[in-house]
Amino acid sequence: MNTEEGMKINIVQNVLAYNKEHAKVNRDLFKENRVYVVNLLSSPGAGKTSLIIETIKKLKDRYSIGVIEGDIASTHDAEKIRRYTSQVVQINTGGSCHLNASMINKAIEKLNLAKIDLLFIENVGNLICPVGFDLGEDSMAVISSVSEGDDKPVKYPKVFIKSDLILLNKIDMLGLADFNKDFFTGKIRELNTRAEVFELSCIKGTGLSDWTDWISAAADNK
């Protein structure tokens, strides 16, 4: 191994170790306050923000819900979510393709964790970088949409391997888009046999109860 390669490996190891320390701090804070935390991943446009909004609408009478909104730039999505809950913090990464545990640690200082039951972290739209960074969450969920095509599990296997829940959004577009559902679900099961797989449409409301039932059961058992 040459010196340059050794330096790169050391840097990566140091970054991950630093992130792991902050993730533990976050996890302890969430546990202490009995907050159930979901890290939502997807590529851009798959429907993370829409799913969060529909979830708040359905569960707002049962849980106090907070959101940490991650974007490279702008506060557009956070402003949309703020119409449904006041417990929202925006993180602009300034170019970074993922959130890390240190960012989350700073964000939760602006939230009243004692008054939150359920926290959604909307990660930056990316199926690669966010997967390697533990944020202290209880569950990781990945959203894929019919409009993106059926090849996401083939192209980005790691996120489907690591996720506890896999959501196929925009199923109202089945038959309109070039999407083979059997191929998609078959490839997922080759990668991950433990994760729940739900089909839903935020626009039509189809399948949302499966998702909210899963979230409710998980939050109640925190």
State the pLDDT at residue 94. Answer: 84
Which neighbouring-strand residues pair with 40?
Answer: 122, 141
Q: Buried b / exposed e across 49-60, counting CB within 10 Å, b at 16+?
A: bbbbbbbbebbe
Amino acid, res. 93: T
Are 33 and 113 contacting, i.e. CB atoms less than 8 angstroms apart?
yes
From the list 114, 105, 97, the residue with the least C-alpha distance to 21 is 105
Q: Please report, as a single letter, which amino acid is at residue 23.
A: A
Report the CATH number at residue 212.
Answer: 3.40.50.300
Q: How far is Cα 36 from Cα 162, in angstroms, rounded to an integer?
A: 18
User: Looking at residue 18, what is its pLDDT?
Assistant: 83
Question: Which positions ≥6 away from 131 have C-beta within 8 Å?
Answer: 41, 158, 159, 162
Range of the domain at 111: 3-220
Name, in order, each residue with C-beta under 8 angstroms of 2's C-beta and a sequence gap of 6 or more: none
pLDDT score at 8? 39
- Number of residues in the chain: 222
Number of domains making up the chain: 1
Low-confidence ranges of the chain (pLDDT < 50): 5-12
User: Residue 14's pLDDT is what?
Assistant: 56
Q: Which are the contacts of 137, defined by CB distance < 8 A and separation ≥ 6? A: 27, 30, 37, 38, 39, 121
